[in-house]
Amino acid sequence: MNVKKLLHQAQRLFREGKKQESIMAFTMAIEAGEATEIAFLSRGVAYLQTGQINKAIDDFRTVIGMNDDNIRAHFYRGIAYMSKDDYKSAVRDFDKTIELKPDHGAAFFAKGSAYAQMGREEEASRNIKIALISSKTRKGISDGFGAVGTHFNKALSMMTGRERDFAAKLTKKEIAGLKKWLED
């Protein structure tokens, strides 16, 4: 099988939700000569979604070494660092993501969540407010994976004063609580 076909097979497996199989296929493609940004980035996301955080960080670092302007690699590495409770490193990656794409609402939200975990409520509040204003934020959060949803829950609980399970759709009560919080 040629290298491009291996990469396409890996991408198909990933889309089908076969993350472990896709990791093996991405690895085969990389070892066969498809050592590209997309191959490492895709395998990194698969590692991240299967809880293999250190391997994900390594792949995102490889992508950034190839292209320091790769927005997705910085964002996903920030998410990976959050999964390891390394909030300072996560903030650095979210800052780079925002530097490269100033309207990246999900990066502002994740950065705010990291600051909240660090006990830096003012910075958390400022970044989460920017994220909530961004029209793309809700989609970015709902398209994310466990770590983003977990941090979304924590931040939303902090803002509304009650625990909740992650859902991309907010209740009327939560929207009213957020509106009040945004006015402060």
- The verdict on 175 and 107 lying in the same domain is yes
Helices (H), ranges, 84-135: 87-100, 105-117, 121-133
- Domain that includes residue 94, residue range: 86-184
Q: What string of pLDDT tens digits covers the 184 residues of the chain?
A: 688 899 999 999 999 999 999 999 999 999 999 899 999 999 999 999 999 999 999 999 999 999 999 999 999 999 999 999 999 999 999 999 999 998 888 898 899 989 988 888 888 888 888 877 764 544 555 444 444 455 555 555 544 455 544 444 555 665 566 555 555 5
Q: What are 48-69's pLDDT values in tens digits?
A: 999 999 999 999 999 999 999 9
Q: Write the Ramachandran bin of 86: left for phi over 0, alpha for psi from -120 to 50, otherwise beta.
A: beta
CB neighbour list of residue 180: distance below 8 Å, 6 or more residues apart: none
Confirm whether 180 is domain-assigned: yes
For residue 79, being part of any structural domain is answered with no
Neighbours of 133 (CB within 10 A): 11
- Residue 85 to residue 41: CA distance in whole angstroms: 21
Q: Are residues 63 and 9 in the same domain?
A: yes
C-alpha span between 95 and 75 (Å, rounded)? 9
- Is residue 47 domain-shared with residue 16, that is, in the same domain? yes
The structural domain count of the chain equals 2
For residue 105, tell me if it sits in a domain. Answer: yes
CATH number of the domain encompassing residue 104: 1.25.40
Say if CB 141 and CB 149 are below 8 A apart. yes
Going by C-alpha positions, the residue among 13, 82, 75, 8 that lies closest to residue 38 is: 8
Whole-model pTM: value is 0.76
- From the list 121, 64, 126, the residue with the least C-alpha distance to 89 is 64
